[in-house]
Structure 1
Amino acid sequence: MSENRRLLLPMLDHVRGKRSAVTCALKCDNACLGEVCNTSDNGYFRDIAAGAISRRSALGLGLAGALTLAFTGTGAGRSEAAGLAPAAKGVTSKLDFTPISPVHFTVDEFTVPSGYSWTPIIRWGDPLFNDSPAFDIADQTEAAQARQFGYNNDYTDIIRIDGENGRRAVLFTNHEYTNEGIMFPKAQLDADPARVRAVARAAHGLSVVELTRRDKNSAWTYVKGAPLNRRFLIDTEYQLTGPAAGSALLKTAADPTGRTVKGTLGNCSGGTTPWGTILSGEENFNGYFRSAGTTAAQKRYGLSDKATGRGWELDDLRFDTRTAGYENEENRFGWVVEVDPMDPTSTPKKHTSLGRFKHEGANVRIAANGKAVAYSGDDERFDYLYKFVSKDTYREGDRAHNMTLLSEGDLYVAKFTGNSAGEIDGSGALPSDGAFDGRGEWLPLVVGGASAVPGMTVEEVLVFTRLAADKVGATKMDRCEDVEPHPTSGKVYVVCTNNSNRGKGTNALADEVNPRTANRDGHIIEITEDGGDQTATAFGWNLLLVAGDPAKNKTAYFAGYPTDKVSPISCPDNVAFDSSGYMWLATDGAPSSIGYNDGLFRVTLEGPERGKVEQFLSVPRDAETCGPIVHDAERHVYVSVQHPGEEGTFEEPHSLFPDYVKGGTPAAGQVRAPRPAVVQVLPAPHAK
């Protein structure tokens, strides 16, 4: 048996987390089976006296003066909502559809509503450059994969190019991880593991691809050989910015300056900035390194002295940080990456000012005072929610200046307090005041260029941000994934995907902002910054959703909307907004929680139907829904489909997405396998 399949054996009976056994092993190095990284004795959630804060005071904060900016120089953004007036109560979405029924987790189909059709834009292995070879799954090479679209696309955006009448755009996506067990036949896994590892390394990273279409209502096609096409690979150089750049904590034998890092790993979600660049979060980087695993920092980041499942340390010494001169290589990952998709010669950046942890992504809004504010969640059980506020201010039309805004500023971590003391018992039952709500504060980590954490320098705070947040008493959360400010209301939505360890053993108990023990379905927090000022250091909050299938979980909560009128939803992950103000939620883990394939859902945020959830699409068997983009004025929706058929093998695939055979079976000897892809969903006549 190959090592790539052997590493999965301990997970075969794993059902505790949100994902399949295979996904847990490959994506996050079995984080949910290992020891909890956060062993701090932080007060997990300090309830205050019931009634001390009224629901009105928590939710009734004005938002006058909040400033939202459309992208400059790059056309419309991922939700087409920036700069629009808030939607009126009772407004109808421009994207009409009849919600689909949930799809059983064994069904290998991409399902869309009646009147819509889908087609892939680009798939794993599609050639990007004029010299790129055609994809050959039976004979993959590192050189070929480096010139082809990567694997497991996650955060995605489509940015239109000005002056092209909506007919030309660039697509950005990151490539989170690989599943060699379904990428390669067993014979190759066993006979040529070095080749397998090399191809897998080339399938990581990022991609920028030009798109074209006939008119603004037709489907996109990617352009092979277009001038903006680019792959970011494991040897692509990234510039470190901010106070920790050049620190002794970031220097290695290969980079004695501590200012240049090769490659990016474990990229998950991201964000598109108001100045038109892309941010991507380095998330589960720890599973790529064999480390001494002895220091408090290494343990806090899940690093250990064990052979990695991927074995990259066999080919490149920097992935074995026990090696003299490479001890700090592990510190050079876990950052927010910024990429300019419009300049294929530009050097991407890793911003140390935003802190180092398992970034799900980062999303930026411009506050009324012109500061750039970036929100980011640490996607690990019992870790934290963060906010960055830039030192300098946004300048309209000055893209070069704006691309420096994330290099210096203040960093905060969130502490939540509830107003229903003694009522939270872990069942998820609603408190007597009819809402999960309360107050919060942003605890300073770095302010004005100085450390706010006793005993830690600025460099230490930024490189070991988890340890700094432990010290100041941040609230332990149920895996903050996407954190998105609404483009018009200014409210911030924090998606907590789940935490099956909440309240187990000595782990933190349930609290009002994380109200369920063994939280398998997740929930969504709605934050209103004080005075509508996104640079404020205090906020009100409430829970918008406590997810689940109401037919099976009686405590599922949908902002008071009738639970018999919603689509069941579990494990919310990524967020987008449309121009009418609706939220769109992508899920990751529903099969293991409620028995249905993951999907994309629309959520009403205002008016009498606040909390209404409607399922728009369902992805294939074993797949995750990622990177939603909603262009509702055109009635177009885009998603990245990651790890379809994850639990199968090359020889016995669980999925044949997206190249389903219509009207027949593959020809004799034809090799077919699931291929992660970016998909477009359009009104049926236009998708043909």
Structure 2
Amino acid sequence: MSDIENLVAYDDGDIDTNRSTNTHMSDLIATRLSRRQTLRHGVSAMTTALFGGALLAGCDDENPQAVTATAAGSTASVAAGRAVTLTGTVASGQVANVNWSQTAGPSVTLTNANQLVASFRAPAVATATQLAFNLEITSRDGLVTNNSVTVTVTPITLDFTAVPHSLADVVTVPSGYSVTVLYRLGDPINGNVAAAANNGTDTNYAQRAGDHHDGMSYFGLAASGSNPDPTNSTRGLLVLNHENITQLYLHANGPTASPRPESEAIKEIECHGVSVVEVARSNGQWAYVRSSSLNRRITPNTPMAFSGPVKGSAWLKTAYSPDGTGGRGTINNCANGTMAWNTYLTNEENWAGYFRRNNGDATVRSTIDAKQNVSLARYGIREGRSGNYGWTTVTPSDSSSTVFRRWNATATATLATDGTADFRNEPFQFGWVVEIDPFNPNSTPRKRTALGRMNHEGCQSGRMIAGVRPAFYMGDDAQNEYIYKFVSATPWSASDASASDRLAVGDKYLDNGTLYVAKFNADGTGQWLPLVYGQNGLSSSNSVYPFADQADVLINTRLAGDALGATKMDRPEWTAVNPATGEMYCTLTNNSSRKPVASGSNTGVDWANPRSYVDAPSTSVGNRNGHIIRLREANDTTEATSFTWDVYAFGAGADLDPTNINLSGLDATNDFSSPDGLWFSLPSNVAGQQTPVMWIQTDDGAFTDVTNCMMLAAIPGRVGDGGTRSVTSSAGGASATVTTRIGKAPGVTLKRFLVGPKQCEITGIHSTPDGTSVFINIQHPGEDASSPAAPTSNWPDSQAGNAAATIRPRSSTIVITKNDGGVVAI
């Protein structure tokens, strides 16, 4: 007894001294419970229906657990593009493993799928669609519980409150969004150039941001190196056009009258062209990378190469390029195009105005090639023109320089008749689509002549489908001009999207094919008419203009369109292609020459351009507010030669006559005038899938007594979703009624997203691949000033608050982000 007492002290029975291997009672209980759980399929959780409303499902008092799902900003269902959070809770016990998995619906990427709180972004859907998810929880003792939750996803909506009209000197965006000024006129693009003083003393604009920021594309850049990464949303290259200049603000005291000083003229020339600039996002903030080796300015003095059928044509020969295969520069670049093989298309629009043509030039040309007089007149280069900004009046410090003389297109009778000794042919070197490789700063841009010569506004590709010949859609921005498309001779190969020689891919798809012009019929159908030499009167026997060959057809694209009877449109500007449907939209900005009845040089209303009216306080008659037309290719293929069409929306003030002017039923949340820029969200994010967001930008003079220019977001339907409408135009003592085809009234699927500062144009738009950052250009704020000392806008300095009244405005690129990090607009 004493031995036992020495081993075990008094314990009141709370020590286990049984060392046998007999079965313990706790083991029997655990075994029984485990079997019970298995028999009940592990259901021992409470399921909370989506967005609240608890539903008890197999509650087990012995092991209570709960699974919930929530979505920010919604109470019943979630719209595509919104963030969704799946939340599981454990009331008691210890968890060994957690796993969320999707069991139904369009596939999504789950973040933190092995944690109780997981999330995903609702995918794009065309109709309400259910997604199901299962949560499996394994306890430390091996018990498994499964439960599920269902999420209903609806098509995307415009999830912001429409911005009201504004005459303020700031960029106004909806609540919940931020504006960052990114890249301004004069900003240096390398470390050796001083910051802009913005007082008219800055020089060397070949190494600074140019003026009048316009069409623009973002190209994702690999995290290291200079190669494309189409998925990178935090580092990329912005490529943007510099269409024109606000001459008043570029010089210390405004411009000097002719004869122009050399220093002023070279600054003005260099402010035109294109910028390639690296941008990056760090800690949520965007900035341009000043010293990037990829930064580049392309100006009217940059060497160019011609490609396609017109290369080497006698019409391209100049003293600079005697063989007609090269040239210098690009000018008045308006809209753009983003190619699937990571190149940028810039488009020469109002280039004709830069050329001087002295009286008597027509007489000289008539003795050599009288056809050139017909051509020059059709493109608006008539005798007696002095040329924009008087550059030809400069006396250069280098007497051999032709930098200024090249803008004088007057033929010199005593020089060689083939154009190789003067610059009589310089106008024919402009009006083209120009392709740039932004990833190779040493590459020479190429003018793609197969796409025709005109006032190119933009050039956007249709959907790129393997094995199908791609199309590229273009507008000719002038009153009563045409809409075109070019169909490549080569079917698309997806492997070309990642080719390293990007301009060679451009050679493949853009140098050979068929150029077409559009004809719109009253019954809602239309045809693409081929501009091919030898067909449909495009031959040497044409009585108005005898075409010599295909190069002649392409140089004189407008004359070819005339010969085929194409439909005269109300200034065709930007084109955009719905990435989900392939339908093409084109902005028709306005047309002061559109009258109720045609007479003289005026054009009468027709089914595709059905309005002519007076919009007070103006007394001008015409289509003052513009419209947006759209077409659907036959069989939804880019190779089609026929289409159907309707008008997506007619621009108008909400207070205008709803019977004959405000045909789309616009109200104060979405009324607009003079649509110009146009772009669809990218298919790489939810805003560009299924029912993509379309962006509309304005360049207006008819509505600016009410509001500054603006940008709207839209979720358009399909061609034919509306009906027909009779429209009566009565003005100037004439009246005419036509029947047009109009889409379904936009209603809440069209909202004003942004209003710009004073006297600006909103133009140029692109986004990061994930859609969370949208880049916008603000062009020529304060353009109506009469003195640089009294600017009529102080933007972008005014964006941050009060700015000194003498601060000069600057065209700039901005970036818009959503404060919650989501996809913009939805």
TM-score range, shorter-chain basis? 0.7 to 0.9
Between 86-95 and 296-305, report the one with greater CA deviation.
86-95
Pair 412,348 (structure 1): closer, same or farther in 2 beyond 3 Å = same
Is structure 2 residue 607 aligned with structure 1 residue 512?
Answer: yes
Aligned to 1:604: 715
Q: Which residue of 1 aligns with 2:538?
A: 453
1:236 partner letter: T
Taking the TM superposition and a 5 Å limit, the aligned residue runs for 1:198-237 are 198-214=266-282, 218-237=284-303
Equivalent positions of 1:211-610 (< 5 A) are: 211-214=279-282, 218-292=284-358, 294=362, 295-304=373-382, 305-315=384-394, 316-324=404-412, 325-365=422-462, 366-367=464-465, 369-398=467-496, 399=499, 400=501, 401-404=504-507, 405-419=509-523, 438-446=524-532, 453-455=538-540, 456=547, 457-503=549-595, 505-506=599-600, 507-517=602-612, 518-555=622-659, 562-564=665-667, 566-578=669-681, 579-580=688-689, 581-589=692-700, 591-592=702-703, 595-606=706-717
Hey, what's the Cα distance between the residues in 2 that align with 1:237 and 1:88?
A: 51
Query: Aligned equivalents of 2:310 and 2:537: distance in 1?
Result: 15
Report if the CA contact (8 A) 1:550-1:556 is conserved.
no
| Residue 148 of structure 1: aligned partner | 208
Task: Report whether the alignment pairs 1:101 with 2:179.
Answer: no
Q: Which amino acid aligns with 1:573?
A: D
Give 1:369 shift.
Answer: 3.5
Query: C-alpha distance in 2, partners of 1:464/1:488?
Result: 34
User: How high is the TM-score relative to the length of structure 1?
Assistant: 0.79
Q: CA deviation at 1:272?
A: 0.2
- Could you tell me which runs of 5 or more consecutive residues in structure 1 were left unpaired when the two chains were aligned: 1-83, 420-437
The CA RMSD over aligned residues, in Å, is: 2.7
Give, in angstroms, the shift of residue 661 of structure 1: 7.5
Instruction: Work out whether 1:659 is the aligned partner of 2:810.
Output: no
More strand by share: 2
State the shift of 1:515 in Å.
0.5
Identify the match of residue 134 of structure 1 among 185, 190, 195.
195
Give 2:35's aligned residue: none
Of residues 808, 820, 826, the one that matches 1:673 is 808
The one of 164, 168, 175 aligned to 2:235: 168
Q: Give the drift of 1:394.
A: 2.5
Tell me if the contact between 2:124 and 2:155 (Cα under 8 Å) persists in the aligned partners. Answer: no
Q: Tell me the residue number matched to 1:79.
A: none
* Partner in structure 1 of residue 758 of structure 2: 621
Distance apart, 1:451 and its partner CA: 8.9
- Give the percent of matched residue pairs that are identical in Structure 1 and Structure 2: 34
- The CA distance in 1 between the partners of 2:182 and 2:252, in whole Å, is 26
Please say if residues 645 and 653 of structure 1, whose CA atoms lie closer than 8 Å, have aligned partners that are also in contact.
yes
Q: Map Cα deviations across residues 189-211 of structure 1 (whole Å, 9 max, x no partner).
A: 35974322111111111100001
Hey, what's the Cα distance between the residues in 1 that align with 2:705 and 2:255?
36
Counterpart Cα distance in 1 of 2:472 and 2:626: 23
**Separation in 2 of the partners of 1:353 and 1:416?**
23
Q: 1:451 to 1:163 in 2, by over 3 A?
A: farther
Identify unmatched segments of 5+ residues in structure 2.
1-122, 129-152, 225-231, 363-372, 395-403, 413-421, 541-546, 613-621, 682-687, 722-743
**Contact preservation (8 Å) 1:639, 1:678:** yes
Change (3 A) 1:409 1:232: same
Note the C-alpha offset of 1:184. 2.3
Q: Distance in 2 between matches of 1:484 and 1:610?
A: 20
Q: TM-score, normalised by structure 2?
A: 0.66
CA deviation after TM superposition for structure 1 residue 663, in Å? 6.2
Deviation readout 1:237-258 (Å, 9 max, x if unpaired): 1111111110001111221110
* C-alpha separation in 2, matches of 1:251 and 1:605: 46
Cα distance in structure 1, aligned partners of 2:659 and 2:708: 22
Q: Which moved more, 1:600-609 or 1:169-178?
A: 600-609
Looking at structure 1, the residues matched to 192 and 666 of structure 2 have their Cα atoms a distance apart, in angstroms, of 54
Which one-letter code corresponds to 2:237 in the other structure?
V
How far apart, CA to CA, are the structure 2 residues paired with 1:650 and 1:162?
42
2: CA distance between counterparts of 1:637 and 1:230?
22
| SS of equivalent residue, structure 2 residue 427 | helix
Distance 1:621 1:593, change over 3 A: closer
- Any conservation in 2 of the 1:154–1:626 contact (CA below 8 Å)? yes
Q: 1:234-289: per-residue Cα shift (whole Å, max 9, x none)?
A: 22111111111100011112211101110101100011011111111100001100
Larger radius of gyration: 2
Question: 387-396 vs 568-577, which deviates more?
Answer: 387-396
Count of paired positions: 576
**For 1:116 and 1:495, how far apart are their aligned partners in 2?**
27
- Distance in 2, Cα, partners of 1:225 & 1:527: 44
Task: Give the counterpart letter for 1:658 in structure 2.
Answer: P
Superposition pairs of residues 21-32 of structure 1, within 5 angstroms: none
Whole-angstrom distance in 2 between the partners of 1:568 and 1:582: 18
1:221 to partner: Cα distance: 0.6
The residue aligned with 1:61 is none
Map Cα deviations across residues 581-634 of structure 1 (whole Å, 9 max, x no partner). Answer: 121101111555663211110112139986232000001111000112255955
**Aligned equivalents of 2:313 and 2:154: distance in 1?**
52
Q: Are the aligned partners of 1:574 and 1:586 in contact in 2 as well (CA < 8 Å)?
A: yes
Structure 1 distance, partners of 2:820, 2:124, is 31
